[in-house]
Structure 1
Amino acid sequence: MLFTYNPQGVGDVLMVLVADSQGQAVEVTKKGAIARVSRVDNQELVAWNFFQVSEHLQLEGSGQMDLSEADLTVLNAWLEAEGFEERVANFASPRFVVGEIVEMEAHPDSDHLNICQVAIGQDASVQIVAGAPNARVGLKTIVALPGAMMPKGNLIFPGQLRGVDSFGMMCSPRELALPNAPQKRGIIELPEATPVGQAFDPTKHWQA
């Protein structure tokens, strides 16, 4: 789950993004100061809105929030008190990680896209459709996995490109808002020795 807080732009509301609505109509069930957002067609949980959250948590800054286990305990007690059965939780692993392209083939319906199999950890890989001109087998780069929020605020969800499933995005320095990023197309290229699955850290993974 992705937690965001923007008191200046939105107000004192902690927004918890759970899933992509995939363009389907949503409905809101509100109990007290908590709103549950779900799809109309299948009731799948899409998001939570916790209003007046500062009465329960001390949040600093704005944008994507990293909540502690103590924070989650407070939110889950709040959910229980209002009669909701679901609970909130952090992602089990980082959303921005080092990945390595281990297989790549041309997209059958595009002259510039490639279908890449990208290792993101021990015995873990994802398929990503990408148009980066420097993509190649063996390249290590930074991968934004589903649930990631990019610096500009856009969210990464599973989707399709020209009919092929894609489960993340390989990132350019510019997309990651890295200092002095080159203003050209191309995903970030990391040294061969960089461990696959390592959480993204600009101090480790970028040198302008």
Structure 2
Amino acid sequence: MNVFYNKQGIGDTLLVSLKEIDKDRRAVERKGDAAKLYHKDSRETAGYNIFNVSEYGNIKESGMLPVTGELIDIVQTALKVNGFEETLELPANPSFVVGMVKDKKKHPDADKLSVCQVETGQETHQIVCGAPNVDKGQKVVVALPGAVMPTGMKIKKSKLRGVASNGMICSAKELVLPDAPKEKGILVLDDHYETGSDFLLQYHR
């Protein structure tokens, strides 16, 4: 689940993304201040837009928000008031976590790619990264398999030029963070971020 809010940029609207669905297969059902996005054929829910969300709860942060019980309650209230019966559940684990790059090697079949071993608490993920500034010893933001990016893209386990990649090391631009640099490169975190923790919770503190 990915939740995004930017009152200055898009108005008082909360965007909730649950699944990636091609735009040509997407349909919308609106009831009052709530709109459900779903797959035309399977009817599977892809997400919600909550308009005038400040009437249903107080949202102080801007950008991609940590998914907390309080935020789920705001969305749930807005859906119920506007006639939707769906129930949202708090995810068991965060999708965007702080990782530590424990090792970096050159990709065997691509000069501009690196194969990184990234610790995310109790696990180590192999991630293929194309950023020029990625390096061993960095704390970074990792989108784990299953994470939904602000663009709606879902992160999946994959292979890049024949090498397994389980997640994505993110840039500030990909996370839609304020004042993201235009230069290409991942976001490198400072030492106060704890490896394995929910990045969005720490970022918005």
TM-score w.r.t. the length of structure 2 is 0.66
In 2, are the aligned partners of 1:157 and 1:167 still within 8 Å (CA)?
Answer: no
CA–CA separation in structure 2 for the residues paired with 1:125 and 1:156: 23
Does 2:131 match 1:128?
Answer: no
Task: Give the match for residue 79 of structure 1.
Answer: 79
Does 2:168 match 1:168?
Answer: yes
Task: Give the match for residue 158 of structure 1.
Answer: 155
After alignment, is 155-164 or 19-28 more displaced?
155-164
1:80-159 maps to which residues of 2 (within 5 A)?
80-81=80-81, 82-87=83-88, 89=90, 92-93=93-94, 95-102=96-103, 104=105, 106-108=107-109, 110-122=110-122, 124-133=123-132, 135=134, 139-145=137-143, 146-147=147-148, 157-158=154-155
What do the CA deviations read for 1:124-172 (whole angstroms, capped 9, x no partner)? 2334221244656x534312313465xxxx6774156557655221558
Task: Give the match for residue 3 of structure 1.
Answer: 3
- Partner letter of residue 49 of structure 1? N
Deviation at 1:48, TM superposition (A): 0.7
- Partner letter of residue 5 of structure 1? Y
Task: Give the match for residue 49 of structure 1.
Answer: 49
Q: Which runs of 5 or more structure 2 residues have no equivalent in the other structure? A: none
Higher relative contact order (CA 8 A, sep 6+): 2
CA–CA separation in structure 1 for the residues paired with 2:75 and 2:95: 21
- After superposition, the Cα gap between the structure-2 partners of 1:102 and 1:190, relative to the gap in structure 1 and judged at 3 Å, is farther
In 2, are the aligned partners of 1:3 and 1:65 still within 8 Å (CA)?
Answer: yes
Q: Which runs of 5 or more structure 1 residues have no equivalent in the other structure? A: 203-208
CA–CA separation in structure 2 for the residues paired with 1:162 and 1:43: 35
CA–CA separation in structure 1 for the residues paired with 2:176 and 2:29: 35
> Which protein is bigger by CA-based radius of gyration?
1
Bigger helix share? 2
In 1, are the aligned partners of 2:64 and 2:176 still within 8 Å (CA)?
Answer: no
CA–CA separation in structure 1 for the residues paired with 2:121 and 2:37: 32
4+ residue runs over 6 A deviation: 175-179
Task: Give the match for residue 197 of structure 1.
Answer: 196
- After superposition, the Cα gap between the structure-2 partners of 1:115 and 1:83, relative to the gap in structure 1 and judged at 3 Å, is same
- After superposition, the Cα gap between the structure-2 partners of 1:30 and 1:169, relative to the gap in structure 1 and judged at 3 Å, is same
Aligned length: 192
